[in-house]
Amino acid sequence: MAEIVLDGIDKVYAGGVKAVDGLSLHIADGEFMVLVGPSGCGKSTALRMIAGLEDISGGTLRIGDRVVNDLAPKDRDIAMVFQNYALYPHMTVEQNLAFGLKLRGTPKNEIKQRVDEAAKMLGLDPYLKRKPAALSGGQRQRVAMGRAIVREPQAFLMDEPLSNLDAKLRVSMRASLSQLHDRLGVTTIYVTHDQIEAMTLGDRVAVLRDGKLQQVDTPQRLFDSPVNLFVAGFIGSPSMNFANARLTGETSEAFVEFAGLRLPVPADVFEAKPDLAGYLGRELIVGIRPSDFEDAEHAKPEWTRIPVKAGVTEELGSEINVIFPIDAAPVVHKDTADLASDATDGEGEDAALPLLEDKALWTARVNARSRVRPGQELELGIDTHRLHFFDAGTGLAVGHPDAAETARRLGVPEPVAKA
Ligand SMILES: Nc1ncnc2c1ncn2[C@@H]1O[C@H](COP(=O)(O)OP(=O)(O)OP(=O)(O)O)[C@@H](O)[C@H]1O
Ligand SMILES: [Mg+2]
């Protein structure tokens, strides 16, 4: 096992495409790190450079205590699992698992022991004598994992290993993967564009866009404290709601005004985000997560109420998503532009929302007991302690502790406190 350290890693493909741009990540020994981001953001390229399948154009890559930039893949002591795992069709499961070790000249009894262990761990023992054609998709993917496990490498690299499986199988494989990682404790870098997979598997998640690291943090902190509009919109499903707004009043009694609404901004929000006071009397972008709404009948008494007219409702059993128009145009910003185009290849629920007479559509996630019906008036409560604010120019979260560092990395103007 080993830590993996990327220091300013670049990849420029022939033809000049800069697929990875100054990527720095410190993946601790035994950590499960997820790389997530929209299609084409450079996830696979980054992983392939770590594996040694792609040359590194700039920066240094360290695995354990060795710089491995120029080391051949076979000497890096890592095992890779791809989306399109290729099993040998004429070999049994057992032979598939043993094959790599055999090539390396591992002693017979050791091969048997490692294969048996991996098979047990993955629930493959009943299938050891079968050939791949006689296995389900999930079982085949388990064999592919097993081939990586038997090698006992310093690290696992996985590129969307579950994306060929159906939704239900993905959920159960996700659980197996987590257990496996707990059991083996091997440093793992896992690529996906599915943010639910990222959030459920990762100790930490690195969000990439256009080859650049946006933010790396625990799933909970990415959700609670996204560093910019892009991360805010990408992490969380349904996505965060945004509106162009104006901050008015003073810190002791402040309001955020948008779409004909006026929400009080509690004093503790100013305490948590000291830079916010500098935005009083100015425009910014407000963000509210669907989960920070509730049907007023079920909301805490101190939550602020707003009247809305429900459009579509999605009854999910455990909760209801209420989609409603607000009296404002959708936010247009470079950080939100990619989100709509990428959402369509997700799970479907995020598919770019149609515009209603140029009005932004927002989503509230309310209690399943709510009596909301499509087309009806509804009062919603909002937890204003959890409002998010973003600079309308840079898209950076106002008052985020990493905002200045992120600005430097992304090449946008650093936030200046304007009191
Ligand atoms: N061999 C190549 N030559 C030139 N450009 C490439 C090559 N491979 C990838 N690219 C480009 O590099 C960028 C990053 O590609 P990459 O495959 O790393 O993205 P990704 O994040 O894995 O996307 P996806 O989620 O679709 O798998 C893309 O713009 C892609 O077109
Ligand atoms: Mg990829």
pLDDT at position 345 is 44
> Which residue from 10, 13, 35 has its CB within 8 A of the most atoms of ligand 1, so it is best to mutate?
13
**Which ligand is closest to the CA of 209, given by its number?**
1
Q: Are 415 and 398 in contact (CB under 8 A)?
A: yes
CATH architecture of structural domain 238-410? Beta Barrel (2.40)
**Which ligand is closest to the CA of 14, given by its number?**
1
Which residue's alpha carbon is at the smallest distance from atom 4 of ligand 1? Answer: 13
CA dist., res. 411 & res. 398, Å (int)? 17
pTM, full prediction: 0.92
Pick the CATH number of 4-224 from 3.40.250.10, 3.40.50.300, 3.90.700.10, 3.40.367.20: 3.40.50.300
Q: What is the pLDDT along the chain (419 residues), one digit of tens a residue?
A: 799 999 999 999 999 999 999 999 999 999 999 999 999 999 999 999 999 999 999 999 999 999 999 999 989 999 988 877 789 999 999 999 999 999 989 999 999 999 999 998 888 999 999 999 999 888 898 899 899 999 889 999 999 988 888 888 888 888 888 988 998 899 999 999 888 899 999 999 999 999 999 999 999 999 999 999 999 999 999 999 999 999 999 999 999 999 999 999 999 999 999 899 999 999 999 999 999 999 999 999 999 999 999 999 999 999 999 999 999 988 988 887 766 554 444 444 444 455 556 889 999 999 999 999 999 999 999 999 999 999 999 999 999 999 999 999 999 998 875 54
pLDDT at position 74 is 87
pLDDT at position 350 is 44
CA dist., res. 199 & res. 205, Å (int)? 7
CA dist., res. 20 & res. 58, Å (int)? 10
Query: Which among 208, 250, 180, 298 has a CA at the least distance from the CA of 6?
Result: 208
Q: Tell me the two tokens of residue 62.
A: 């360290």
Kindly write down the DSSP assignment for every residue of 41-103, as one continuous string.
Answer: SSHHHHHHHHHTSS---EEEEEETTEE-TTS-GGGS-EEEE-SS----TTS-HHHHHHHHHHH
Q: Which residues pair with 286 in a beta bridge?
A: 243, 389
pLDDT at position 4 is 98
CA angle 337-202-272, nearest 5°? 65
Which residue's alpha carbon is at the smallest distance from atom 29 of ligand 1? Answer: 40
Q: Which residues pair with 325 in a beta bridge?
A: 361
Q: Is the CB of 20 under 6 A from ligand 1?
A: no
The contacts of residue 188 (CB under 8 Å, 6+ apart) are: 31, 32, 33, 155, 156, 157, 158, 181
The contacts of residue 202 (CB under 8 Å, 6+ apart) are: 32, 33, 34, 190, 218, 219
Which residue's alpha carbon is at the smallest distance from atom 16 of ligand 1? Answer: 42
Q: Tell me the two tokens of residue 178.
A: 């987590």
Residue spans per domain, the chain: 4-224, 238-410
Tell how far CA 302 is from the center of its chain.
32
Burial of 48 (0-12, 13-18, 19+ CB in 10 A): buried
pLDDT at position 343 is 45
Q: Is the CB of 41 under 6 A from ligand 1?
A: yes
Count Cβ neighbours within 10 Å for each residue of 200-236 and write b for 16 or more, e otherwise: ebbebbbbbbbbbbbbbbebeebbebbbbbbbbbbbb
For 228-285, the pLDDT digits (tens) are 999 999 999 999 999 999 999 999 999 999 999 999 999 999 999 989 999 999 999 9
For 199-231, the pLDDT digits (tens) are 999 999 999 999 999 999 999 999 999 999 999
